[in-house]
Amino acid sequence: MSASAKPFAPSTRTASTMSRSVWGWTRPLAAAAILTVVVWQLGIDPFLEGLRAVNGAVIAAGAALGVVTTLACAWRWTVVARGLGLRLSLPAAVAAYYRSIFLNLTLPGGVVGDVHRGVCHGRNVSDVGLALRAVGWERTAGQVVQAVVTVAVLLALPSPVRPSISVVLLALVALAAVVTLVRSIGGREGTRWARARGAIAGDVRRALLPRSAWPAIVLASLLVVAGHATAFVVAARSAGATTPLAQMVPLALLALLAMVLPSIAGWGPREAVTAWAFAAAGLGASQGVATAVVYGVMAFVASLPGALVLMAAWVPRTAVAQADGAADA
């Protein structure tokens, strides 16, 4: 071995790839652990009760509300994308969003559909990185509005879960602290950190803060929150909950806020938080799990148009491949 030879060490890129791989496995494993604890504590009966509570009216309500929320999400995405200078029509955004929701609800992690949506859009506009950032900012804006609405409702309406507002506020304060830290940390011009910070600030200014953008983003996000909360109330009523609406809405918003956590096709944190919230409200943890199951079925039914979008994209490629094979033969 020559004097200049160095022992093998993984490159930065290899280490980064390994880190992402470990994180990718940790997310579904954590969700599976949470779901396992729920089943261990409450048994399988609440899940079966939830499935038995699903009927035609519930499925129809889920599909109808899914149309409203998906249209609002797609509209929000077009506003953010256009703010970043990317072309995106509303019909294309609706189809891609349906496909994204279907993939999120059928594949582990809960974000595969969003990544796929960003990559596909990026290939169409020849800028995958910027398109992925547009998807990230669109989802982030929606979650911020959802958190603000949840805090406002928990403050305004009396409910047994009002003490949970401290947890939500703590999370918001932590997020604000991180943003402030990012803005305050210095870096020489031209460094990777300085470029990343500049890109983030530029994205926010162009995509989220203009007067032509933020009212539409907020309105679309409010429609999404209202649609999901209505679906949750329908699920709760179907599962047998008779709590007044003023007490049910805080429970719904708190459960919806937990759905942004890593899951297995939507399952895991949703059932755990709903069970806890319903138990705190005196409704019983089992009824909370049954409600979460009904909601999960409604969400899956609402996402089924995404499967049609996937099939529509797959059939032409299959036909072209068959035609090429026939020509070769």
Report how far residue 203's alpha carbon sits from residue 137's, in angstroms, rounded to the nearest whole number.
Answer: 8
Contact 93, 74 (CB under 8 A): yes
Report how far residue 260's alpha carbon sits from residue 246's, in angstroms, rounded to the nearest whole number.
Answer: 23
Q: In tens digits, what is the pLDDT along the chain, a chain of 329 residues?
A: 444 444 444 444 454 444 455 445 566 676 677 777 777 888 888 888 988 999 999 999 999 999 999 999 999 999 999 999 999 999 999 999 999 999 998 887 678 899 999 999 999 999 999 999 999 999 999 999 998 898 888 888 777 766 666 666 676 667 666 655 555 554 455 556 666 667 787 788 888 888 889 999 999 999 999 999 999 999 999 998 888 888 899 889 988 888 877 667 667 778 888 888 888 888 888 999 999 999 999 999 999 999 999 888 776 555 444 544 444 43
> What was the pLDDT predicted at 283?
86
The number of C-alpha atoms within 13 Å of 160 and in the hemisphere containing its C-beta is 15
Q: How many residues does the chain have?
A: 329
Report how far residue 159's alpha carbon sits from residue 157's, in angstroms, rounded to the nearest whole number.
Answer: 6
Contact 130, 84 (CB under 8 A): yes
- For residue 162, the 8-state DSSP code is G
Report how far residue 117's alpha carbon sits from residue 111's, in angstroms, rounded to the nearest whole number.
Answer: 10
Among residues 279, 304, 308, the alpha carbon closest in space to that of 291 is found at 279
Among residues 82, 69, 192, 194, the alpha carbon closest in space to that of 137 is found at 82
| Cross-strand partners of 267 | 264
Amino acid at site 209: L
Stated as kind and residue range, the H or E segment containing 289 is: helix 285-328
C-alpha 147 chain-centroid distance: 13
> What was the pLDDT predicted at 133?
92
Report how far residue 211's alpha carbon sits from residue 137's, in angstroms, rounded to the nearest whole number.
Answer: 17
Dump the DSSP string for 31-63: HHHHHHHHHHHH-SHHHHHHHHH--HHHHHHHH
Amino acid at site 153: V
> What was the pLDDT predicted at 2?
45
